[in-house]
Chain A
Amino acid sequence: MIRHPFHDVAIVGVHNTAQAKVLADHDSRSIALEAAHGAIGDAGLTPMDIDGVVGNLGNDFLYQHRIGPVWRSLSALGIPAVLEGAMAIACGLATTVLITTGEAGSYREHTATAPWTRPTNEFVAPYGMFTAAEFALMARRHMHLYGTTPESMAHVAAVIRNNGHANPQAVFSGRGPFTAADVLASRMIADPFHLLDCAMTSEGGAAIVLTNMERASDCAKAPVRILGGGTDHFGPAYQHPPVWEMGGRKRPDLIAGTVGRRAAENAFAMAGLGPSDVDVCEFYDPFSFEIIRQFEAFGFCGTGEGGDFVLSGVIEPGGRFPVTTDGGTMSFSHGGAAVQLFQRVIRGVQQLRGECLSMQVPDAHVALCTGGGSGALFTDVLLLGSELP
């Protein structure tokens, strides 16, 4: 059996607060605090059990509850924060780590696109660039190179939005069902992305509690094991032209277009697993094309085959690789700059615990959770398991 220090760490608590287009009675601090209390309660712990926090809002929690001194990291965005918490536990810097985040009140005036999508950099801002345009430039290149179609992207969006349609907790619960034709008929945002190919904006909080395996046995629910993880980054997002072929200096196939490949290879190697061992694909879905790209980058299918792959019946509920089962950023919630990047991890945990009701993947034992995307020049992965392989 392969052993890795991550294998001594488990996720024992997760919580999504209510998610909504507007959380009228909250600001970011209050919703992150609520998320923290939810995740700690989910684990059957109390604030006094926490001896490590990650993120600015975890830092706020730490002060409010006067549980210091504790270990702290300011890592904020998603899977890297989870991995950092796991590393701290595996290395003995902390025993039980809280990661909490939330966002409310920062984007309610919609004359411009969301603040986290609008770069001020000198080489992109004069051209009206924002996140959708950055990712569209990557998707267009893939269409040119491999013949990928808007229809395949629209199918991805319809599947994920239908997952959210069936999820009572989703911001867009009951708003479907959708067909690919509905997606293609929605108004164009940044060609090839229609409105329904894109993430929504919303508000919410999310929190995760990690601890070591010894402590995990005393927690309220079955521990979800960290089997492996990795992060792939090519540099600052939204400053440099998002060129599909950029990179390859260390290995020709490791380019911006395949970002996440190396991270996934590393994560699978830590676990002694491969793509065929994955039961649930909780892939980050800022834009429909990114799902197609990730299946290629992670080795679920060959380069250029992602469009046909997602059309082959594998990503729907009941398919071999069900994707983004709560509706993702398209339908469940976006939650602002940071929250979105934790929600795939939370859903992966819920799937491995069997908590997903009508959207439960039967016999789910391995979940691959991701964050980031090609247009932002990074992709992070986290491989979770109900037990060690």
Chain B
Amino acid sequence: MTMLRPQDRAGVSPVPTMFSAPYWEGCAERELRYQVCIACGAANHTPAAVCAACDGADLQWRRSDGRGVIHSWTVVMRPVGPDFDAPYAPVIVAMSEGWFLLSAMIGCEHTELSVGVEVTVEFHPIADGRLVPYVRPVR
């Protein structure tokens, strides 16, 4: 059995864009952010300029409660490159506010993954020290 853990040697660092800078600024403060459409209330991620539900152009950043459930998952046994240690477990999380986060599971065995598992977000550094969000099962 192998406890899933953060990939602290991951060498591919996110390069923020004009749209995503507020998201990564939030992560640096251990705060998960998403966008909300002022017109229709739809939650949005990944960061965008327009609402994916109603085309509204007024999106506002909000702080997420960091809670969600596993929507889909995989366990990677053949790492993408030498700076990743297998196993690791990319997951899609359905966040409580109604948006989807691509992240990776930590803090459980790789055999414990299942759709519907409740998770909470926490932040860990990758190789360059940048904080990225991971998720851990709520016990």
Contacts and interface: CB of A to CB of B under 8 A. Distances in A.
User: Secondary structure of the A side of the interface?
Assistant: loop
Given A124-B102, A190-B74, A241-B101, A137 B92 contact: yes
Interface in A112-155: 112-113, 117-118, 120, 122-130, 132-133, 136-138, 140-141, 144
Given A122-B16, A128-B88, A140-B72, A112 B100 contact: no
B75 A123 contact: no
Contacts of A141: 71-72, 115
A130 B80 CA distance: 6
Contact of B74 (A122, A125, A137, A243): A137
A292 to B, nearest CB: 16
B17 to A, nearest CB: 7
B14 A125 contact: yes
Contact of A241 (B14, B77, B100, B104): B100
Interface stretch (B5-13, B30-38, B56-64): B5-13
Given A126-B14, A140-B115, A239-B46, A191 B75 contact: yes
B88 A122 contact: no
B79 interface: yes
B76 interface: yes
Contact of A123 (B14, B80, B88): B14
A3 interface: no
Contact of B80 (A118, A241, A243, A244): A118
B123 to A, nearest CB: 11
Nearest to B92: A241
Interface in B14-48: 14-17, 20, 24, 45-46
A138 B90 contact: no
A243 B73 CA distance: 11
Interface in A179-215: 187-192, 195
Interface size class of chain A, counting residues whose CB lies under 8 Å from the partner chain:
35 or more
A358 interface: no
A133 B92 contact: no
Contacts of B10: 125-128
Interface string B67-104: 00001111111111110100010111000000011111
Contacts of A123: 14, 20, 46, 102
Residue among A117, A128, A192 having the largest count of chain B Cβ atoms under 10 Å: A128
Contact of B77 (A130, A140, A187): A187
Nearest to A192: B74
Interface of A: 111-113, 117-118, 120, 122-130, 132-133, 136-138, 140-141, 144, 187-192, 195, 239-244, 246, 249
Interface residues of B, number: 40
User: Secondary structure of the B side of the interface?
Assistant: loop
B119 interface: no
A140 B71 CA distance: 9
Contacts of B84: 128
A346 to B, nearest CB: 29
Contacts of A124: 102
B121 interface: no
B77 A190 contact: yes
Contacts of A120: 12, 15
Residue among B76, B88, B103 having the largest count of chain A Cβ atoms under 10 Å: B76
B81 A127 contact: no
A111 B11 CA distance: 15
Nearest first, the 3 closest Cβ-Cβ pairs linking A and B are: A122-B14, A136-B74, A112-B81
B100 A111 contact: no
A260 to B, nearest CB: 19
A248 to B, nearest CB: 11
A304 to B, nearest CB: 15
Contacts of B72: 137-138, 140-141, 144, 243-244
Contacts of A192: 74
A244 to B, nearest CB: 7
A125 B92 CA distance: 14
